[in-house]
Structure 1
Amino acid sequence: MAKPPAAGSPAPPFSLPGVTVGPDGSQYGDFSLDRARGNPLVLVFYPGDNTPVCTRQLCSYTTDLDRFRDLGAAVWGVSPQDTGSHESFARQHGLAMPLLADTDRAAARAYGIAVPGLGLRRSVFVLDDRGTVRWRHVALAGLTFQSTDTLAEQVRAVLRTP
């Protein structure tokens, strides 16, 4: 099994289907790291839609989404559920970030966070504008999550790095 990419290493590439729910409806599309280059990206791997900790985590990130946008960063949520589940989850909780469907867990395996028989470890990777991992947090138990203050500080650090 792959290990999570270390800070300073290239982020494993992927292309996943996703959905973004907004006031004008749902927009489905493909999301790839190659097309995300040019700005920092916060990748949030979470175990499941409509679970207590994941719901609190993604609601908190949505509440502070403007902080990331003001820094020029995007935030993507990634989990094993399909886009239909993601759309329902986003609508129910007002989630405004793209939610990507890693149904075969290929991205989770590439990032070294897949747990056979259980899904994936709650993890966050902050990437710079070139797709390099600059910071990561991989939870052991996944009962807590990184705050928006922590993530925003990590994005600011990426912006200060030449």
Structure 2
Amino acid sequence: MQFLKFTPDLAPYFDAINREWISDMFTLEPIDEKVISNPQHYVIDRGGYIWFASHPEHGVVGTCALMKKADGVFELTKMGVSSHARGLKVGEKLLSFVISKAEVIAYNTLFLLTNQKCQAAIHLYEKHGFVHDKEILQNYGKAYERCDVAMRYHRKKIQN
């Protein structure tokens, strides 16, 4: 698995991968349409980051963004894997990679918003250090009609 940093020529993958998974489970909301159709403007130009997972046999099959919400505050968002690549652990590898990148970015808060219907994803997030957080839900959850779960990342403490 190779991880690629956003370039404008990868933008169509960001749109297609996110459009597929969101449409499969939910209704695309206006904020989804804005972000996935113009990630350069809504993520990159505003101080955020986007990465892609490229599989040796299947090509670009996953994506994930860190959207800057305020100084030191990032939302892990628009994480998706193409349906034809599910079961290859792409999501797990991509999430680990993005967290490793986030840990070197100067941030105070890393959070995500999701829905209870996404139990497999919630389990993956919990496994990687995200915990449910009511304050995040209150402060940011209104961004999406479908949001009923908010989680905050807790950096792992280094053992001496």
The TM-score normalised by the length of structure 1 is 0.29
- TM score, norm. by length of structure 2: 0.29
